[in-house]
Amino acid sequence: MKIAFTTKGIDWDSIIDARFGRTDFIVLYDEESERLTSVDNRDIEGVAHGAGPQTAQKLFDLSPDVLITGNGPGGNAAEVLQRAHLKIYTGAANMTIKQAYEAYKKGSLSLFE
């Protein structure tokens, strides 16, 4: 499975970004290959309107199965993510990517509907 995270950095001990639309990075962990890759989203800062859908579009192109984030996506972004058919888990704010992954495996994150 491919797991995506909204983050402030690109290593296992980077902190999860609570926001979706204006997250600094999207980190993707491929459980099969055990590889960590990332997308730099920081240019979203220049976007006045529509940050959520723009970021969601980037995520869509990565085809993750799961998204782990802090607060969850806003309205517009959520609409886009629906089409990606992925499961979204919230409640990982302030954890490191490693901790968030472990929490997800343990089932202690909340499912976003």
Partner 1 sequence: MGDIVIASGKGGTGKTTLSTNLAALLAETESVVLVDLDVEEPNSGLFIRGTETKREIKYKQIPQWDSSACTLCGLCQRVCNFHALIKLGKEIMIFPQLCHGCYACSDLCPVEALPMVPVRMGETRRFDLDKLVFIESRLDIGEEQAVPLIAQTKGYVKDTFASYTYRIYDAPPGTSCPVIEAARSADLVILVTEPTPFGLNDLKLAVETIRQMGNPFGVVINRYGVGNDSVDQYCETEHIPVLARLPNDRRAAELYSRGQRIYTELPAFRSELEKVADYIKKLSGSKR
Partner 2 sequence: MKEIVVISGKGGTGKTSITASFTVLGAPTLVAADCDVDAADMHLLLKPDMAIQEDFYSGEVAVIDPSACIGCGRCAQVCHFNAISRRGRTYEIDSLACEGCGYCSRVCPTRAISNHPEKAGQLFVSTTRVGCTMVHAKLGIGSDNSGKLVAEVKKRAKALTEQQGKELVLVDGSPGIGCPVVSSLSGASFVVLVTEPTVSGLHDLQRVCELIEKFKIPSGCIINKSDINPEMTEKIVTYLDSQHITLLAVLPYDESVSRAMIAEKTIVEYEQESPIKDQLKNAWHRLGDFLKK
The site for partner 2 (CB under 8 A) is made up of: 18, 22, 46, 48-49, 71
Residues that bind partner 1 (CB under 8 A): 47, 49-51, 53-54, 57, 60, 76, 79-80, 83
CB of 49 to partner 2, least distance (A): 6
Nearer to partner 2, 16 or 86 (CB): 16
Please give the full DSSP string across 42-91, using - where no structure is assigned: GGGGG-SS-HHHHHHHHHHHH--SEEE-SS---HHHHHHHHTTT-EEEE-
